[in-house]
Amino acid sequence: MLSQVVEGESQVHFRMHQFLARENGKPEALFYIQEGWACRYRLLSDGRRQITALYLPGDYCDPQWVLGGVSSQPVVAITNVRALRLPCRIPSRADFDGQHAFWKALAGMIERQTNWLVSLGRMTALERIAHLLLELFDRMRQAGLAYGQQCAMPLTQIEIADMTGLTPVHVNRTLQSLRARELIELQSKWLRIPELSALRDVFAMTG
């Protein structure tokens, strides 16, 4: 149907490890993720990697592109991804709902990025990983992708390390510690949080 292809809007697919955007290029499109996970990251010349954003179903990737900049960091698919390809500019003013939703999404991304700064700067390994898992579970729940107390968790421990600023070895030991305290169950890419409040007690945020 032609009517579905409004302003170049169309559905696209990416395979695991495929790039949605490369660095130093003008992003050619804005993607509305419908299924799968992706992430933005930066590499240092000696191989150290820091993931700087995670895109889940329902997220725009990357919202800041509409502000007119370039994509200074690559975005890669963590799992297979199905997305809507949108024109890379501020949503039409006629579409008030869409515009409002988009600004809200951008504000949400900034808010999460700020929380992440606190996590990386001032939290211990245990707190960082608890914080990450809680955020992921919450976002999956808001996307309607949580089932009871569990949700999919496709990240490898290496990817968790690259998000939390730790080494894979220490991520492994920290996850074991969380498991031993019965705060999480995590196996075969599936996360279960028996008691949200118990996991939240791990870190001590004010406000």
- What residues make contact with DNA under the rule CB under 7 A? 124-126, 156-158, 165-170, 172-176, 188
Residue 126 interface partner, choices its own copies, DNA, none, CB cut-off 5-8 Å depending on type: DNA
Out of 24, 144, 148, 188, name the contact with its own copies by CB under 8 A. 24
Q: Residue 25 has what DSSP assignment?
A: B
φ, ψ of residue 5 in degrees (nearest 5): -95, 75
- The tokens of 118 are what? 């606190």
Q: Does 82 bind its own copies (CB under 8 A)?
A: no
120 binds its own copies, rule: CB under 8 A: yes
User: Which range binds its own copies by CB under 8 A, 96-104, 137-145, 146-154, 183-191?
Assistant: 96-104
Query: Which tokens sit at 148?
Result: 């009871």
Contacts of 99 (CB under 8 A, 6+ apart): 90, 91, 92, 93
Residue 80 CB, nearest approach to DNA (Å): 10
Q: Least Å distance between CB 60 and DNA?
A: 26
Amino acid occupying residue 116: W
68 binds its own copies (CB under 8 A): yes
Contact between 139 and 56 (Cβ < 8 Å)? yes
Out of its own copies, DNA, none, which partner does residue 71 contact, by CB within 5 to 8 A per kind? none
Residues 32 to 51 in contact with its own copies, rule: CB under 8 A: 40, 42-46, 48-50
Backbone angles phi, psi at 132, to 5 degrees: -65, -50
CB distance 110 to 71 below 8 Å:
no
Distance separating alpha carbons of residues 58 and 56, to the nearest angstrom: 6
Considering only residues 3, 94, 121, 180, which one is a binding residue for its own copies as defined by CB under 8 A? 121
Measured from the CB atom, the residue of 28 and 182 that comes closer to DNA is: 182
Burial class (CB in 10 A: 0-12, 13-18, 19+), 113: exposed
> Which residues are at the interface with its own copies (CB under 8 A)?
23-24, 40, 42-46, 48-50, 52-53, 64, 67-69, 72-73, 100, 103-104, 106-107, 110-111, 113-114, 116-118, 120-123, 163-165, 203-207
